[in-house]
Amino acid sequence: MPLASPSQDKGLVRQVVVRRLLALDEAGTLESVHVRIAAETAGVSVRTAWRWLARARMGQTEPAYRRGGFLLDDTLWARLEELDGNVSELHRQLSRAGDDSVLPGPLPSLATMHRAVREQRRAGRVFQSTRPGKRHVDPDRYDRALAELALPGTVDETGQVPPVSGVEQADATTTAPVTRPASLGDGVRLYVPGAHVVSTRQLGTVTEAIAHTAAARGVLCLYGDPGHGKTVALYQALRLLPRRLPVHWAKAAVRPALPQLRAALLTAFGLPVRALTSRTDAADRALIDALSTPAVLVVDDAQRIAAPELDYLRLLIDAPTTQTCLVLCGAGTEKSLKRAPALASRILTWQHVPRLETAQVPDVLRLFHPLWDTATDADLLHADETCTRGNFRTWAKVTSHVYAALARRPGTRVDHVLLSAACARLGPAS
């Protein structure tokens, strides 16, 4: 869907949109999604786009106004926009001014002016108002409602909305330790006090991939099965970028429509969501301006985004001024991108995060938490083979249950029996 320029003429947009819809209609391939995208492009409602198409089928492609009726010119329409579409207030101001120079004729009645506005809006003219409409739903309120409903995919396994925060950048001289304490602000849930994030070989590979893609200002797809450490690797890699780059985080809702995706991107860049959500052209221009600065934009849980909205991301990064690196992260993101080949073809780096290798498990776990120091390699490898299968998130849960058991019975040895009891608490699917 093209991103309109400020000077783009609405009548010309209507003609182009209608001709494309007619061509698809005549070819027998027209679908409702085409009409929805056309409506977004023209900045009108889907209902208006369908009305345009119905009139075009009868040979009428131009806006239809009443002959000889009163019309608001660009000057009057701009004043009406400043009043947030309040026709009565505009009529009062014109009446008090007593100046007919701004009118195309004598001042009409209030009913005539209301009728003229309705007709022009039916013909496709829109208000570029800075205030959200009465039915506008604030993105934060929308996300809270999703969390309260606890629909599948909207919250994590603890029933909490995963935190979304900016990532503090490290200096170029900073050396990454083998382990470091992590908190909820790191986007990592470790389930147990005293645990550390471990810099594995997989994490190092992700760091190299993100550093290269950020330098090339390209697009990266970070994917892998749930629990394999994508979020941990992503946060660590962004901390270790060779120079200070702003990092912006956008959290994808479940199957977001274009307005919700646009609002999430505006929020990520700190732009005024409430002022821009209902202004398609202004919001797109603001995002393109924000993307012109070298930075990293992370779209988390990108697998939730449908193909038309993924194509919107492609249009943003295709802007000639874009210098921001785009990171699409999530389990199954690579599958979602198959439905958006235009965006997939622009991805510079595909980075898979695999499960822990069997030989890594004992050493990584002992770095992860000191309670594993007394466990034997054989017991850990048996638990990995029968229960955790190299999934680091599952190992974090097992650690939490073992930690609780040791707290209840101090002096207990971490052995095969204790590990089996901890694994049994994970449920039959684990």
pLDDT (tens digit per residue) in 282-325: 888 889 999 998 999 999 889 999 988 999 999 999 999 999 99
What is the spatial distance between Cα 322 and Cα 239, in angstroms, rounded to a whole number?
A: 23
Strand-strand pairing, 179-181 and 349-352? unpaired
Take residue 198 and report the two structure tokens written for it. Answer: 């471990």
Are both 292 and 383 inside the same structural domain? no
Are both 195 and 290 inside the same structural domain? yes
5 part of a folded domain:
no
Residue 98 has a pLDDT of 64
Residue 351 has a pLDDT of 92
> Which runs of E-coded beta strand occur in 189-271?
196-198, 219-223, 247-251
132-167 CB burial, b ≥16 within 10 A, e <16 = beeeeeebeebbeebeeeeeeebbeeeeeebeeeeb
Are both 232 and 326 inside the same structural domain? yes
Q: Which residues contact 14 (CB under 8 A, 6 or more apart)?
A: 42, 52, 61, 63, 124
Are both 271 and 339 inside the same structural domain? yes
Residue 125 vs residues 10, 33, 52, 56, 77: alpha-carbon distances, Å: 7, 22, 12, 17, 10
151 part of a folded domain:
no
Are both 89 and 52 inside the same structural domain? no
Are both 87 and 115 inside the same structural domain? yes
154 part of a folded domain:
no
Are both 345 and 370 inside the same structural domain? no
Say if residues 100 and 106 touch (Cβ distance below 8 Å).
yes
Are both 263 and 212 inside the same structural domain? yes
Q: Which residues contact 12 (CB under 8 A, 6 or more apart)?
A: none
- As for how many domains the chain has, the answer is 4
51 part of a folded domain:
yes
65 part of a folded domain:
no
Say if residues 17 and 52 touch (Cβ distance below 8 Å).
yes
Structural domain for 50, as ranges:
10-57
Are both 318 and 199 inside the same structural domain? yes
CA-CA-CA-CA torsion sign (364, 367, 372, 373): positive
Are both 389 and 335 inside the same structural domain? no
156 part of a folded domain:
no
Give the residue from 264, 252, 319, 267 showing the smallest Cα distance to 288: 319
Residue 345 has a pLDDT of 92
Are both 274 and 392 inside the same structural domain? no
Say if residues 300 and 330 touch (Cβ distance below 8 Å).
yes
One digit per residue, pLDDT tens: the chain, 430 residues?
444 433 334 555 677 778 888 888 888 888 887 888 777 766 677 887 888 888 888 776 555 544 456 777 777 877 887 787 888 888 888 888 765 566 766 788 888 888 888 877 766 566 654 344 444 444 444 444 444 443 333 333 333 433 433 333 333 333 333 333 333 344 556 667 777 777 777 778 888 888 889 888 999 999 988 888 888 888 888 887 766 678 999 988 888 888 888 888 988 998 887 767 667 788 888 899 999 989 999 998 899 999 889 999 999 999 999 999 999 999 899 999 988 999 999 999 999 988 888 888 888 888 888 888 888 989 898 888 888 888 888 888 898 888 888 888 877 788 888 888 888 888 765 4
Say if residues 121 and 63 touch (Cβ distance below 8 Å).
no
Give the residue from 233, 238, 258 showing the smallest Cα distance to 248: 238
Are both 117 and 170 inside the same structural domain? no
Take residue 197 and report the two structure tokens written for it. Answer: 């994030």
Q: What is the mean pLDDT of the chain?
A: 75
Give the residue from 323, 332, 327, 312 showing the smallest Cα distance to 260: 312
Mapped onto helix, strand or coil, the DSSP state of residue 352 is strand
Residue 220 has a pLDDT of 94
Boundary-marking domain end, from 321, 352, 383: 352
